[in-house]
Chain A
Amino acid sequence: MVFFDRVFWLASLRCLILLRQKLGWMSLIVGGALIPLVLIVARVSFVGPAKIFWDFSLGISFLLQIVLASYLGSHVLDEERARKTLHVLCAGRMTRVQWVWGQVLGTWAFITAMNFIWLLVSAGLSKAIFADAGSWIHLQTQIFVAIEVAIVVGAALLLSMFLRSALAWMSLISVLILLHSVSYLLTILKSQIFQVSGEAEAYEYLFKALYFLPPLEWLDLRVFVGYEEFFEWSQFLSIGALGVAWSLFFVFIAQRRIERLDF
Chain B
Amino acid sequence: MDDLSPVLSIQGLAKSFSTPVFRDLSLEIKSQQSVALVGANGAGKSTFIKIILGLVGADSGSVKIWGQDPRNSRVLERVGYLPEVSGFWPELSAREMLFFASKFTDRNQEELVERRENLLSVLGLKNRGARRMDGYSKGMLQRSGLANLLLHDPEFLVLDEPMSGLDPRAQAKLRDILSRLRERGKTLLISSHSLEDIQKLCDRVIVLEKGAKVLDGETSQVLSELERKYQSSEPWDEDPLGDDSGFF
Contact = CB atoms under 8 A, between A and B. Distances in A.
A10 B99 CA distance: 12
Given A93-B101, A262-B55, A262-B56, A83 B71 contact: no
A88 B56 contact: no
A91 B91 contact: no
A95 B89 contact: no
B154 interface: yes
A21 B132 CA distance: 12
A92 B92 contact: no
B76 A95 contact: yes
- B96, B103, B149 — which one has the most chain A CB atoms within 10 A of its CB? B103
A12 B100 CA distance: 9
B103 A84 contact: no
B55 A91 contact: yes
Nearest to A19: B91
A150 B65 CA distance: 37
A13 interface: yes
Given A84-B85, A91-B53, A91-B55, A17 B80 contact: no
A145 B101 CA distance: 33
A88 B57 contact: no
Nearest to A21: B91
B89 A83 contact: yes
Interface stretch (A1-9, A61-69, A164-172): A1-9
Given A17-B92, A262-B55, A263-B56, A84 B87 contact: yes
A220 B91 CA distance: 35
Interface string B131-163: 000000000000001001100101000100000
B6 interface: no
A88 B103 contact: no
23 contacts: A6-B104, A9-B103, A10-B104, A17-B89, A20-B92, A83-B88, A83-B89, A83-B90, A84-B88, A87-B50, A87-B87, A88-B81, A88-B145, A88-B148, A90-B54, A91-B54, A91-B55, A91-B79, A91-B158, A94-B73, A95-B76, A260-B57, A262-B56
Contacts of B101: 93
Nearest to B57: A262
A20 B90 CA distance: 10
A2 B77 CA distance: 12
Contacts of A6: 103-104
B83 A87 contact: yes
B50 A92 contact: no
Contacts of A17: 89, 91-92
Interface residues of A, number: 28
Given A91-B53, A92-B154, A260-B57, A9 B104 contact: yes
A88 B55 contact: no
Q: How big is the B interface, by class?
A: 35 or more
Nearest to A261: B57
A260 B80 CA distance: 22
Interface string A233-258: 00000000000000000000000000
Interface in A84-136: 84-96
Interface in B74-119: 76-77, 79-81, 83, 85-92, 96, 100-101, 103-106
A96 B79 CA distance: 16
Contact of A16 (B53, B57, B86, B92): B92
Nearest to A79: B89
Interface in A178-213: none
Contact of A88 (B71, B87, B91, B106): B87
Given A12-B100, A87-B50, A94-B104, 7 more contacts: A16-B91, A16-B92, A83-B87, A87-B83, A87-B87, A92-B81, A93-B76
Interface string A45-89: 000000000000000000000000000000000000001111111
A13 B55 contact: no
Contacts of A90: 54-55
